[in-house]
């Protein structure tokens, strides 16, 4: 059955479709078919699907969700039509009423699709009370379900302006739990979400949560997956810009050792090295004891090698980072730090940043 035919037939015929038929409809949508908005409005298709969603057959419910999710994915107009149909409360209710984990996972996916469309749809998902039951799935889901939870949270919080902190703060402990999972997809989505939240709500997040995020993020800098590593680095970069307390927590967590190891890698991309330099600059915005500890750790030696890098952007970024470190504090502090950095290194920095014509 084609989707175009479906929207032009008597809606009562839908009640006779089985799970396989709905799956085929979902596949049509997934493969690029985008039904006209006026057809959907004229036939009131989504409201009819919402009624069928009350069917107690979990297979049919799951396939209905599959159709709704792919329909919302077609365009902003389609997602808005789904929201305006009033189906959201019924989808949210499935998260608390169904014993079927795969059905709840599909409901989480649909909510993530809708929330990811834009701020208006995201706010509608939150206003319909979806966040708490989504978070609850962390304790009741298999790997597939947890991936959907991590992705849905990313969809809810990856764009600004962020929702009110009262709606966000409950998600942070669950995101920390997800950050301790072993699955790459879950780690990437949870870390990306935390990096967005941390950069916008740092002064409101409880210190204990911030400390745990710092510890775990530093650990993930040693992850074998580049995607996980880069996502964790974004968090560390944001945390290093908070205050001296967070900088000291990062240093105690071993961030300097991790950064040195990353700078020794020959497989990292330019963007990763630039993010490392920015992280170091953020760390060095702290007090003199922090800067002195950085210099004494010889992390500066790893930076030094980039002064000869063939990539001029990397070369200049490394030079600016070293120059920034050497110019921190009062005059006597600068002299001490520059002596620790080394005259040879400082000469190279000056040649790069202030070339003689």
pLDDT at 266: 78
Distance CA 211, CA 214 (A): 5
pLDDT at 43: 60
For the chain, what percent of residues have pLDDT higher than 90? 49
pLDDT for residue 217 is more than 50: yes
Q: Which two tokens stand for residue 90?
A: 């019924």
pLDDT at 311: 94
**pLDDT (tens digit, 9 = 90+) per residue, 95-116?**
998 889 999 999 999 999 999 9
**pLDDT (tens digit, 9 = 90+) per residue, 4-21?**
444 434 334 444 455 445
Looking at the chain, how many residues does it have?
Answer: 357
What is the mean pLDDT of the segment spanning 246-274?
93
What is the mean pLDDT of the segment spanning 72-93?
90
What is the mean pLDDT of the segment spanning 120-125?
96
8 A C-beta contact, residue 229 and residue 221: yes
- Residue 33 carries which DSSP code? -
pLDDT for residue 278 is more than 50: yes
8 A C-beta contact, residue 185 and residue 150: yes
Distance CA 91, CA 12 (A): 22
Helices (H) and strands (E) in the chain, counts: 24, 0
- 311 versus 67: the higher-pLDDT residue is 311
pLDDT at 7: 43
- Angle CA(238)–CA(242)–CA(248) in degrees, nearest 5? 100
8 A C-beta contact, residue 290 and residue 283: yes
**Residue 340 pLDDT class (50, 70, 90 cuts):** low
pLDDT for residue 288 is more than 70: yes
pLDDT at 210: 86
My answer on whether omega of the bond before 162 falls inside 30° of 0, hence cis, is: no
Neighbouring residues of 293: CB distance < 8 A, sequence distance ≥ 6: 251, 256
pLDDT at 42: 58
Alpha-carbon distance values, 207 to 95, 96, 115, 218, 237 (Å):
31, 31, 29, 16, 17
Q: How far apart are the first and last CA of the chain?
A: 73
pLDDT for residue 3 is more than 70: no
Distance CA 115, CA 130 (A): 10
- Interior/surface letters 190-209, b for 16+ CB within 10 angstroms, e for the rest: bbbbbbbbbbbeeeebeeeb
Alpha-carbon distance values, 292 to 215, 257, 339 (Å):
22, 15, 11
Instruction: Determine whether domain 1-117 maps to CATH 3.40.50.1000.
Output: no
């Amino acid at each position: 059955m084609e989707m175009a035919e479906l929207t032009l037939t008597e809606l009562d015929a839908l009640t006779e479709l089985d799970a396989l038929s709905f799956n085929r409809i979902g596949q049509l949508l997934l493969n690029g078919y985008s039904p006209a908005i006026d057809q959907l409005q004229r036939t009131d298709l989504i409201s009819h699907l919402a009624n069928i969603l009350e069917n107690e057959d979990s297979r049919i419910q799951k396939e209905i969700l599959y159709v709704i999710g792919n329909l919302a994915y077609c365009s902003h107009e389609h997602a808005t039509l789904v929201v305006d149909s009033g189906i959201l409360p019924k989808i949210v209710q499935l998260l608390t009423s169904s014993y079927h984990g795969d059905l709840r996972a599909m409901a989480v996916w649909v909510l993530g699709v809708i929330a990811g469309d834009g701020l208006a749809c995201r706010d509608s998902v939150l206003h319909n009370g979806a966040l708490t039951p989504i978070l609850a799935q962390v304790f009741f889901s298999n790997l597939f379900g947890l991936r959907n939870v991590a992705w849905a949270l990313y969809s809810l919080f990856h764009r600004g302006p962020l929702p009110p902190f009262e709606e966000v703060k409950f998600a942070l402990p669950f995101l920390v739990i997800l950050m301790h999972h072993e699955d790459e997809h879950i780690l990437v989505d949870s870390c990306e979400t935390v990096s967005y939240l941390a950069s916008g709500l740092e002064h409101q997040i409880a210190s204990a949560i911030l400390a745990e995020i710092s510890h775990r993020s530093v650990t993930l800098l040693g992850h074998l997956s580049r995607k996980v590593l880069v996502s964790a680095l974004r968090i560390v970069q944001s945390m290093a810009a908070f205050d001296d307390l967070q900088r000291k927590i990062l240093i105690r967590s071993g961030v300097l050792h991790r950064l040195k190891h990353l700078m020794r890698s020959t497989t990292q991309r330019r963007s990763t090295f630039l993010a490392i330099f920015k992280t170091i600059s953020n760390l060095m915005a702290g007090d003199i004891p922090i800067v002195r500890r950085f210099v004494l750790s010889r992390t500066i030696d790893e930076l030094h090698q980039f002064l000869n890098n063939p990539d001029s952007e990397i070369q200049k970024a490394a030079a600016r980072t070293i120059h920034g470190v050497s110019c921190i504090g009062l005059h006597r502090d600068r002299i001490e730090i520059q002596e620790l950095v080394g005259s040879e290194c400082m000469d190279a920095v000056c040649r790069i940043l202030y070339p003689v014509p």
